[in-house]
Amino acid sequence: MCRLAAVPRVWGGVILGKLDKVLDRLLQRRTLKRWEEMADAAAGVDLAALRNWRNRARALRRQVDRVIHVAEHRLALPILGSNAVRKLPGTDWVWRPDMWKGPIPTPGIAAVTTRAQVCEGATIFHDCRQSELTLRQVRNTREEDVAPFGLRLDVFRFDGSFLSLVIDLPEEGAQGLKLRHLVRIDAIIELEKPLEIFARLNIKHGPNTEQVVREMPFDGVHAVVEFDLAYTKVNEKRIEKLWVDLIFEGPEMNQITLRDLTVSRRPRAEL
């Protein structure tokens, strides 16, 4: 009786598990082979079929891109499996934008136009008549790096008056935000030659937008700036959205590498 009772458990726990893995591998190989055949035939297929293939491919790519993004984020960190973020005691929210966490859909752009989207929630603005600006995502590999990826800007001739990187903060950053909060930006920035960088915090509250500008002081390659909301005229009951501008003054003939950037907030200590 004991031997007979053990058979279903072995079948369900071991053999079926192995069978599932074999079937998964066979299905994956068959699916990959099918998409290879479709790719080879795409140049000559009729347009109706090609349109259907494109829709199917786009739906598949969205899910594949999601898996790749999460996998790269978890596997590419300097400390494997860690999502380390430097934060001060009392911090109640901290966030690192996607471009520093995982690979972005377009890793490089040449002759960057104004309002060029680096990735979702991050945009480049400038007023150059002729763009000689390039950007690309780079892989951080140094031991002291915390973020797995960085963003590099190469600026050659620059005939404009401003260059900025605008980063939209997620809704969580605005939820529960009060005038007693300090908003902090931590960055690791490498410069080919000295450059002034300003950070501007934008807070949309109702129909109004409060803007606070601070120069980012450097300690080597580390830059930290804080915004004390107590000195603003923000209506904390109507805060809707936050975004940050990084403004680069006189960036001509310079290489700017942002190795990491995090935004955090913490309540001010009560006196």
| pLDDT tens column, 106-131 | 889 999 999 999 998 999 999 998 88
Residue 192, token pair as written in the block: 């080919």
* pLDDT > 70 fraction of the chain, expressed in percent and rounded: 88
- Are 153 and 256 in contact by the 8 Å Cβ rule? The answer is yes
What's the pLDDT score for residue 75? 61
Low-confidence ranges of the chain (pLDDT < 70): 1-17, 19, 72-83, 270-271
What's the pLDDT score for residue 9? 46
- Are 158 and 251 in contact by the 8 Å Cβ rule? The answer is yes
Residues with Cβ < 8 Å from 216, sequence gap 6 or more? 185, 187, 189, 197, 198, 199, 223, 224, 225, 246
50-53: long-range pairs with CB below 8 Å, 24+: none
The pTM score is 0.69
What's the pLDDT score for residue 106? 85
Measure the CA–CA gap between 68 and 91, rounded to whole angstroms: 30
